[in-house]
């Protein structure tokens, strides 16, 4: 006989655990199934959890959760040829609640899963869900490598590898231009060295995004985040562009770490872990069928990630909460039909995050078709500032003339105007 | 730092059965062999006339699954595979 629950959640990442937490709090008998040894064993984050979604659900969670550093400084580093520009924003007085924290997933996910367990959810680890079971056209449970489980509703939060959703016909396998591969290293450094090196007080952290020369030909960018006693450094790039350039991820990683804008920040650090993960970049247009009879899809599986803002984990929490709430309502009414679950999609589409994703849809395609802009602008801006700061006996008007001619060799004026138009329309 | 040294830092629970299958027929005819470049853990290598799969080094990103149509990639058994200590 198969064991029966009210609800099954596949995956103990932030989407699944949030859904499980919400349901358990509302007395729904829910089991969360995780394939890793522990929650977080399989999971990777670039660095930052923006806390709003989770703070709305569990106010003040950031006072007790195992977080790394509160992000007080955001920077963009535009890399040219042997030169770079650093644009930073730092707030001296802290706002409360904070905006975001760096986290390490093995610690954070374990803590968060415990929260759901304390609320009454059952957690099963080391168990791989191999398919969704259906009965009379409705999802009725899951098959795992340790037996079948049945439930009235299944919430799929399986992450970026959407095999279950594909098998169940909820999504077609994402294309190469819809997914990014991200590689990251944990580089350990004593906390006082980190604070000294980045000009931080205890507990404070920075987030740096790198675009330009190291990623020539790619649609991708690098990142560096400060943890308590380590740095998270790496990059993400659209798979089709990595394939076109035939760049090996680990070669690019090494080259990136040698960049003059990166290398001094990593100096004397020891690599503790090397990680790779995919990031869904399909955007609004590539989202799966979010609901069907007896099933909801949340988190990375729902393609909820925003490369512009760096959101991902918080969107997992947001969607997990909505899925959980809709499941609770379905449980109350004893109605798990797709009609009863359709509200989930409505909630999600009305959220700020998905509105932004909708607005910027098509932008990634535009960048992929014009990949040169990923290096042309950083190079042009570097040339501009380099010229501006140089004292070489030429007058300012001579310099401006030179700047103007360098900029247009990087990208034609008509194309610049089009870029401004497209970016403006998609982002503003 | 070499990739081998980085992979050496990782904790894997190795299953005796591979979770990655490749279509050797197709691989032999494949002009692209993108698997050799795209995998962050260098799981794939080609030694005439076969593609070898070092599945025990797989970090489960799934990039090969998206990049190559001849790879059949599934999750390792529950509890097996990569187990990140930091993540």
Domains of chain B in start order, with CATH, are 3-82 (3.30.70.20)
A35–B78 C-beta distance less than 8 A? yes
The Cα A309–Cα A396 span in angstroms is: 37
pLDDT in tens, A48-104: 999 999 999 999 999 999 999 999 999 999 999 899 999 999 987 767 889 999 999
What sign results for the dihedral spanned by CA atoms A111, A312, A145, B76?
Answer: negative
Average of pLDDT values for A278-297?
95
What is the pLDDT at residue A97? 86
B61–A276 C-beta distance less than 8 A? yes
Element (H or E) spanning A24, and its range? helix A14-25
> CA A310, A316, A319 angle in degrees (round to 5)?
125
Parts of chain A belonging to CATH 3.50.50.60: 3-68+104-174+283-350
A277–B61 C-beta distance less than 8 A? yes
pLDDT in tens, A263-287: 999 999 999 999 999 999 999 989 9
The answer, yes or no, to whether residue A415 has pLDDT greater than 90, is yes
pLDDT in tens, A168-203: 999 999 999 999 999 999 999 999 999 999 999 999
The Cα A337–Cα B7 span in angstroms is: 46
CATH number 2.40.40.20 is the correct assignment for the domain at A177-280? no
A127–B87 C-beta distance less than 8 A? no
pTM attached to this predicted model: 0.96
Element (H or E) spanning A100, and its range? strand A100-102
**pLDDT classification of B29: cutoffs 50, 70, 90:** very high
Contact yes or no for A261/A79 (Cβ under 8 A) = yes
CATH number 3.50.50.60 is the correct assignment for the domain at A3-68+104-174+283-350? yes
Which residues of B make CB contacts under 8 Å with A?
1, 3, 6-7, 9-10, 13, 34, 37-42, 59-63, 65-67, 73-79, 81-87
């Amino acid at each position: 006989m198969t064991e029966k629950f009210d609800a099954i959640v596949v995956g103990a990442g932030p989407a699944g655990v949030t859904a499980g937490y919400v349901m358990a709090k509302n007395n729904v008998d829910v089991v969360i199934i995780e394939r890793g040894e522990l929650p977080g064993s399989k999971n990777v984050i670039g660095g930052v959890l923006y806390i709003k979604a989770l703070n709305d659900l569990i106010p003040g969670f950031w006072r007790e959760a195992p977080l790394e550093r509160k992000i007080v400084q955001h920077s963009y580093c535009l890399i040219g040829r042997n030169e770079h520009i650093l644009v930073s924003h730092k707030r001296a007085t802290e706002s409360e609640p904070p905006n975001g924290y760096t986290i390490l997933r093995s610690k954070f996910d374990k803590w968060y899963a415990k929260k759901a367990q304390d609320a009454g959810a059952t957690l099963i680890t080391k168990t791989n869900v191999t398919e969704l079971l259906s009965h009379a056209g409705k999802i009725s449970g899951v098959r795992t490598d340790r037996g079948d489980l049945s439930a009235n509703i299944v919430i799929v939060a399986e992450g970026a590898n959407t095999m279950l959703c594909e098998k169940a016909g909820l999504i077609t396998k994402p294309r190469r231009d819809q997914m990014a591969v991200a590689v990251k290293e944990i580089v350990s450094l004593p906390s006082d060295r980190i604070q000294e090196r980045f000009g931080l007080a205890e507990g404070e952290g920075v987030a740096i995004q790198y675009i330009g020369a190291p990623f020539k030909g790619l649609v991708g960018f690098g990142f560096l985040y400060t943890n308590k006693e380590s740095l998270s450094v790496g990059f993400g790039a659209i798979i089709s562009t990595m394939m076109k350039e035939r760049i090996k991820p680990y070669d690019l990683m090494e080259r990136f770490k040698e960049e003059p804008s990166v290398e001094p920040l990593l100096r004397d650090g020891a690599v503790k872990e090397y990680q790779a993960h995919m990031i869904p970049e399909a955007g609004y247009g590539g989202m799966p069928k979010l609901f069907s009879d007896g099933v909801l899809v949340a988190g990375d599986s729902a393609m909820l990630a925003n490369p512009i803002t760096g959101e991902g984990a918080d969107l997992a929490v947001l969607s997990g909460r909505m899925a959980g709430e809709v499941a609770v309502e379905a449980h109350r009414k004893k109605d798990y039909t797709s009609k009863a679950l359709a509200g989930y999609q409505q909630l999600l589409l009305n959220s700020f995050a998905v509105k932004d994703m909708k607005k910027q849809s098509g932008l990634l395609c535009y960048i992929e078709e014009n990949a040169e802009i990923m290096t042309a602008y950083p190079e042009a801006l570097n040339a501009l500032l380099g010229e501006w700061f140089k004292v070489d006996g030429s007058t300012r008007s001579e310099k401006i003339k030179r700047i103007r001619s360098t900029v247009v060799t990087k990208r034609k004026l008509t194309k610049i105007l089009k870029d401004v138009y497209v970016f403006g329309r998609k982002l503003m | 730092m070499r990739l081998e040294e980085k992979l050496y830092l990782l904790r894997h629970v190795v299953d005796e059965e591979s979770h990655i299958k490749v279509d050797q027929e197709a691989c032999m005819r494949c002009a692209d062999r993108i698997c050799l470049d795209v995998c962050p853990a260098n799981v794939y290598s080609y030694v005439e006339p076969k593609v070898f799969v070092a599945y025990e080094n797989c970090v489960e990103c799934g990039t090969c699954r998206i990049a190559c149509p001849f790879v059949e990639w599934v999750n390792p058994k529950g509890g097996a595979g990569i187990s990140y200590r930091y993540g």
